[in-house]
Structure 1
């Protein structure tokens, strides 16, 4: 079957113009930037990011771009991207693609903003002279290519163990970089071909430092792919198509009916949209965490009043959210017992709760061991277009409290975070990195990003030295 998907991607990347972006696309794009820059700053508190910073600083090299959280130190573009994008995904708090397909598996959908935003933030510094309109256009170009590839793939890609934000994210960074570099035709096709061979990330590393590194490598590899293509490096120019193409090899195919959507005819960032995460854990957990919070607050439940907890859900939650008892904060992001118990104990779950000392505490360990995670065939039968679950809490005085998750995901297009809530999340993320005044300057710059004469200004406004005590 001839699909010419790569040809379509090349045509879109080459021909899309700033004027093709609707006012709504620009509005949502700015919101995604606010959110993503915030979670990048929050990620600098993670030991994994410190290791990558030290590695980049030790290797050194061409001073292309600022090394996040290292003051004014500069390193080669791809290395700067590895650190920046890993920080962006370190808390698993970055935004998530939406799909209306009831047959879709949520884990197949990518975290779309970090790879292309990292690419344009780094390349704007390397290239110089990139204004805000070019910056926004390149970001949206990478975002669209990444999301459409993810949407069209068969769920087998995720089910067999690939991590989409690492694999498909590579295309987002490559497309964004290629747009800034002005690659065209065969050279642009080669950039995508190189990116396909670089695409990697397996779910076995969920709950470890390597999970966010998948996204760091996606940004690093996407930039490298486009820059090599610009130098004349070659690859298969039809890499998304055919029996040995990306779709077939990585996911055993794609949905032929979806290909007609095309790239850019309706930008994914607008429809079906993007979710901005209220909690720093896998998106599949958030409705259930909100449900637990509602149950706790409605009934004023205290942890010492709880005898046991039962959590019922379908395979779309139970397969990736896989730790029955989390012993550290990385595992807690993929452990329903840990997340539900966190809400019960603290009545919130911010990155301040995702600390190894708290997750390993006696109260958390005891409650997790009194929490059962159970498959529910009825929930599975309703499909995976929405995230559905039910919580039952048995109290010491003999009551059973029941709460179904609200299918209207808080943070998703049906129930979005307000601008005020988004700013609150940004400021919480930036706390400890930037003072209130610096936070305000960065927010102002993002809100007026299209009018910037130099988009590299955004990176400069993020400068702080995370190696020194705050």
Structure 2
């Protein structure tokens, strides 16, 4: 039975059984999550949630990353750090399912690790791996029908991943772990219709909070169905018209999903990345040829996988959150500015005349013969010159992963805006030292 199988695997998982590449993937995932959480800490979506919920804060046990030493109870820390980590859409991605796995799991886990005290870095890594494996295998078991129906898969599986991780940290035995999974499973969070609004990142925070709640309740004897995932009216059959969860769980501990985790080079929907990658390359080529300003461009055409237009077909975004789901905005900033970081998704850039003019010149065609991370771009200039670019695999994909240096550059760029250059460097160093840390609570003081 799926729920029992998952619980038994998690309980029996040991640090010594983790391959070195899995440990490294976990450290990199944590590193990227911290950078994204600090980078999103001062975003209006995060600060609005924090201000609204402050009256409900409890005992200050856990850090609000990037907020000048602010602390709150573990539940609200999980929620708010989860929101911050996802608000720029800059987090990691399990490309097979487009789950963003670390946000829900690490947000819950870090908050509880601080609250418990005495948690070693290796214990944290073990729990993080358990949670990410659980959510990704579960997501693979219902992909793509679950997503096609309209569920935001990151949060619907994220709460279960978070419960598994926190439960592992709290050393739950098999039956309480089943209950934790069950309590998390019944808290299904996230509709795709929320994409482009504040609530998309709320999904990640709420999944973290729900998972933390589930594990804490189960640790005190709170019960749920012991077959919550596979029962006729359980999670898998309710949220998807088909599933092969049992088959996916058979691969637990043999095929590590965290090792397939990819990191985003651009803060937007990942399906836009091939277009941005190609347009940045074209920006450089056009500049080298002495042209390529917004005024030089006559028209642009891109061919993309159908999912790109389904998810990111917003032609006229009105703010940064909407622009994250606009392939047209991604193409425009790539062509005109030659970069696509958080600054290029600020509202003033989205509405700038040069960007709007080029965005309006871009047309897009869905082509089922293309891969999900593939595109072909053609730019026609007013002087009759034509530039083309074919991107087989975008940077940040499994085939063209970000290097450690690029991951660090991304981290420093985000964190410097919040903590300053010196603070970003020291935080980066502390995060890379997770595995050797004797106390996550002490590590948190350095972040």
Q: Select 1:231's aligned residue among 208, 217, 220.
A: 220
Which position in structure 2 is the counterpart of 1:405?
391
Aligned to 2:238: 249
Cα distance between partner residues in 1 of 2:157 and 2:345: 27
Secondary structure of 1:453 counterpart:
coil
Aligned residue in 1 for 2:317: 326
Distance 1:377 1:75, change over 3 A: closer
Whether the aligned pair in 2 keeps the contact of 1:442 and 1:458 (CA below 8 Å) is no
Partner of 1:352, secondary structure, is helix
Aligned counterparts of 1:66 and 1:399: Cα–Cα separation in 2: 54
**The structure with more helix, counted as a fraction of residues:** 2
Instruction: State the SS of the aligned residue for 2:106.
Output: helix
Aligned to 1:448: 433
CA drift at 1:257: 8.3
Separation in 1 of the partners of 2:354 and 2:417?
A: 28
Deviation string 1:348-388 (CA, Å, 9 cap, x unpaired) is 01111111011012222222222212222433xxxx5x422
CA distance in 2, matches of 1:45, 1:311: 34
- Contact 2:2/2:249 (CA < 8 Å) preserved in 1? no
TM-score (norm 1): 0.90
Secondary structure of the equivalent of 1:224? helix
Match of residue 257 from structure 2 = 268
1:288 to 2:275 alignment: yes
Normalising to structure 2: TM-score of the pair? 0.95
Are the structure 2 counterparts of residues 257 and 198 from structure 1 closer, same or farther at C-alpha, using a change threshold of 3 Å?
closer
Aligned to 1:153: 142
- 1:210 paired to 2:196: no
Q: Does the 8 Å CA contact 1:84/1:216 hold for their aligned counterparts?
A: yes
1:30 equivalent in structure 2: 27
Does structure 2 retain, via aligned residues, the 8 Å contact 1:94–1:277?
yes
Q: Deviations over 1:21-60 (max 9, x none)?
A: 1111111211111111111111013101001221332222
Shift of 1:299: 2.9
2:377 matched to 1:391?
Answer: yes
Partner of 2:130: 141
Q: Which position in structure 2 is the counterpart of 1:103?
A: none
- Whether the 8 Å CA contact 2:109–2:165 is kept in 1: the answer is yes
Structure 1 distance, partners of 2:124, 2:351, is 43
**Structure 2 counterpart of 1:15:** 12
- Which of 69, 82, 101 is the aligned partner of 1:72? 69
Where do 4+ consecutive residues of structure 1 move more than 4 Å?
none
The answer to whether residue 31 in structure 2 is matched with residue 43 in structure 1 is: no
Q: 1:113 and 1:369, CA in 2 relative to 1: closer, same or farther beyond 3 A?
A: same
Determine if contact 2:138/2:249 at 8 Å carries over to the other structure: no
CA distance in 1, matches of 2:249, 2:35: 35
Distance 2:148 2:253 in 1: 27
In structure 1, distance between residues paired with 2:369 and 2:32: 35
Cα distance between partner residues in 2 of 1:296 and 1:438: 33
Deviation at 1:418, TM superposition (A): 1.6
Match of 1:468 in 2: none
- SS at 2:114's partner residue? helix
Answer 1 or 2: higher relative contact order, Cα 8 Å, separation at least 6: 1
Distance 2:239 2:179 in 1: 19
* Structure 2 residue aligned with 1:366: 357
Aligned counterpart, 2:403: 418
Residue from 173, 177, 185 that aligns with 1:188: 177
Deviates more, 1:213-222 or 1:300-309: 300-309
Deviation at 1:343, TM superposition (A): 1.1
Could you tell me how far 1:256 is from its partner in structure 2?
Answer: 6.5
Q: How many residues align?
A: 443
